[in-house]
């Protein structure tokens, strides 16, 4: 008797599960692996992605690697063991992370490279902004102020493939003027970990070596530019020597309205993060992701030795300086009015949007 009851009960349960797909459908688990929290944008994008994943019924587990590429790989492998269905990676080191992506792919776990390329053709997708155009925009922003003299090239983290693409764009604009002898590149350095403190030290040494005879600085993001500006300020050069940035950070935009940082590059991460979560959920459900275009690793890395292709999508970027920071950044609520104008006298501020 008991046995018949058990069979009937099991059958009923099976019917209920079959009847309600929601019950049957396993909750999607997304892994988010983040290089560091030193740069202003990463915690912002983590929060956006976490909220969106939850809104779509998915779970999101994230881990920060504090600029430690080996730790990041361990964290990614651990996420696979924890049963994630897909992983979004903000890579500390694009080359080092390839082995973690390939190991996850072997276990059937798709990986999305977010903003920064992981140098593997086993990626399910690479989504970012037009990083070469970022570099062109930075160089044009500086040349708007001066197009001759002693230039300093301040690159980003050498392990970040984006830094190479920013530099490619910068040199496309600057090199012809170097060839004409109009510009002399007196220093060319890359900033470990994109660290502002490293940028300050590097700029101090360059200014000493050049006896402050520097006419412009092509820096690769707001953090390192503001670091360099610390050293320039100490020599009375801040606001006199044009310098570029990137990311439209609160501190960067504030420095622009105070006439120190010359320009930044606005990349609306409120477009990139939702794209990552939508793609992750599709991949986790085994669905095809539309709108991706194949690029070779060779053209993405400028390294002829790398083989294979990666499906990619790149978003547009906008150059921002004192003339459009209010319209592009404040009115779009990318940054807060008070964060940018707090040290500008009330009567010199634009109206509160």
Helix, strand, or coil here: 187?
strand
How far apart (Å, rounded) are the C-alpha atoms in residues 337 and 296?
A: 42
> Which residues lie closer than 8 Å to 51 by C-beta, 6 or more apart?
none
> Which residues lie closer than 8 Å to 283 by C-beta, 6 or more apart?
85, 86, 110, 112, 124, 125, 289
Q: Taking the CA of residue 244 as centre, how many other CA atoms within 13 Å lie in the half-sphere pointing to its CB?
A: 32
Residue from 85, 92, 93, 160 touching ligand GAL (CB under 6 A): that is: 160
Min dist CB 266 to ligand GAL, Å, is: 11
Q: State the binding string over 68-107 for ligand GAL (x if CB under 6 A, else -).
A: ----------------------------------------
How far apart (Å, rounded) are the C-alpha atoms in residues 213 and 168?
A: 25
Q: Nearest 5°: phi and psi at 56?
A: -100, 20
Min dist CB 38 to ligand GAL, Å, is: 7
Q: Measured from the CB atom, is 163 or 289 closer to ligand GAL?
A: 163
Q: Does 194 bind ligand GAL (CB under 6 A)?
A: yes
Residue from 72, 221, 244, 264 touching ligand GAL (CB under 6 A): that is: 221
351: left (phi over 0), alpha (psi -120 to 50) or beta: beta
Q: Measured from the CB atom, is 92 or 321 closer to ligand GAL?
A: 92
- Measure Cα distances from 158 to 77, 118, 146, 236, 269 in Å: 24, 14, 27, 29, 23
Tokens representing residue 346 in the block: 């009330």
Report the DSSP pairing between strands 29-34 and 59-64: parallel
Min dist CB 56 to ligand GAL, Å, is: 25
Q: Which of 120, 116, 155, 150 is nearest to 135 (CA)?
A: 155
Min dist CB 305 to ligand GAL, Å, is: 22
Q: State the binding string over 19-58 for ligand GAL (x if CB under 6 A, else -).
A: --------------------x-x-----------------
Q: Measured from the CB atom, is 155 or 242 closer to ligand GAL?
A: 155
Residue from 45, 85, 115, 260 touching ligand GAL (CB under 6 A): that is: 115
Q: Measured from the CB atom, is 85 or 222 closer to ligand GAL?
A: 222
Helix, strand, or coil here: 66?
coil
How far apart (Å, rounded) are the C-alpha atoms in residues 249 and 40?
A: 7
**Nearest residue (beta carbon) to ligand GAL:** 39
Residue from 198, 246, 273, 335 touching ligand GAL (CB under 6 A): that is: 246
Return the DSSP state at 286.
Answer: T
The count of residues in the chain is: 353
Place of tokens 């439209």: 248
Region of 26-34, 142-150, 156-164, 330-338 interacting with ligand GAL (CB under 6 A): 156-164
By CB under 6 A, how many residues form the interface with ligand GAL? Answer: 11
Q: Does 167 bind ligand GAL (CB under 6 A)?
A: no
Region of 18-26, 48-56, 96-104, 154-162 interacting with ligand GAL (CB under 6 A): 154-162
How far apart (Å, rounded) are the C-alpha atoms in residues 258 and 178?
A: 30
Q: Measured from the CB atom, is 34 or 279 closer to ligand GAL?
A: 34
Min dist CB 102 to ligand GAL, Å, is: 22
Q: Does 116 bind ligand GAL (CB under 6 A)?
A: yes
How far apart (Å, rounded) are the C-alpha atoms in residues 235 and 320?
A: 26
> Footprint of ligand GAL on this chain (CB under 6 A)?
39, 41, 115-116, 156, 160, 162, 194, 221, 246-247
């Amino acid at each position: 008797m008991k046995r018949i009851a058990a069979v009937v009960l099991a059958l009923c349960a099976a019917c209920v599960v079959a009847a309600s797909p929601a019950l049957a459908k396993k909750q999607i688990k997304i892994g988010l692996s983040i290089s560091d929290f030193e740069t202003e944008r990463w915690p912002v994008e983590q929060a956006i992605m976490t909220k969106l994943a939850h809104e779509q019924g998915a779970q999101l587990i994230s881990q920060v690697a504090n600029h430690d590429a080996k730790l990041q790989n361990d964290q990614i492998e651990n996420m696979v063991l924890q049963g994630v269905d897909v992983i979004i990676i903000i890579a500390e080191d694009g080359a080092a992370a390839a082995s973690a992506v390939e190991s996850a792919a072997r276990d059937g776990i798709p990986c999305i490279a977010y903003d920064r390329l992981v140098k593997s053709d086993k990626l399910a997708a690479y989504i970012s902004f037009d990083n070469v155009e970022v570099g062109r925009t930075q160089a044009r922003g500086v040349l708007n102020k001066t197009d001759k003299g002693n230039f300093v090239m301040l690159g980003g983290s050498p392990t970040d493939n984006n830094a190479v693409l920013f530099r490619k764009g910068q040199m496309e604009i600057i090199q012809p003027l170097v060839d004409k002898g109009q510009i002399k590149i007196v220093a060319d350095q890359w900033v470990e970990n994109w660290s502002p403190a490293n940028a300050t030290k590097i700029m101090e040494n360059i200014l000493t070596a050049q006896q402050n005879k520097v006419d412009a600085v092509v820096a690769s993001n707001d953090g390192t530019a503001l670091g360099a500006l610390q050293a320039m300020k100490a020599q009375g050069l801040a606001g006199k020597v044009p310098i570029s940035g990137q990311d439209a950070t609160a501190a960067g935009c504030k420095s622009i309205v105070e006439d120190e940082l010359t320009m930044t590059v606005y990349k609306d991460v409120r477009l990139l993060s939702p794209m990552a979560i939508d793609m992750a959920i599709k991949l986790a459900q085994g669905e095809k992701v539309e709108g991706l275009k194949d690029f070779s690793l060779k053209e993405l890395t400028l390294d002829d030795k790398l083989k294979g292709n990666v499906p990619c999508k790149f978003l547009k970027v906008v150059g921002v300086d004192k003339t459009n920071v209010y319209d592009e950044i404040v009115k779009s609520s990318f940054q807060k009015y008070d964060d940018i104008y707090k040290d500008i006298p009330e009567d010199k501020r634009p109206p509160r949007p």
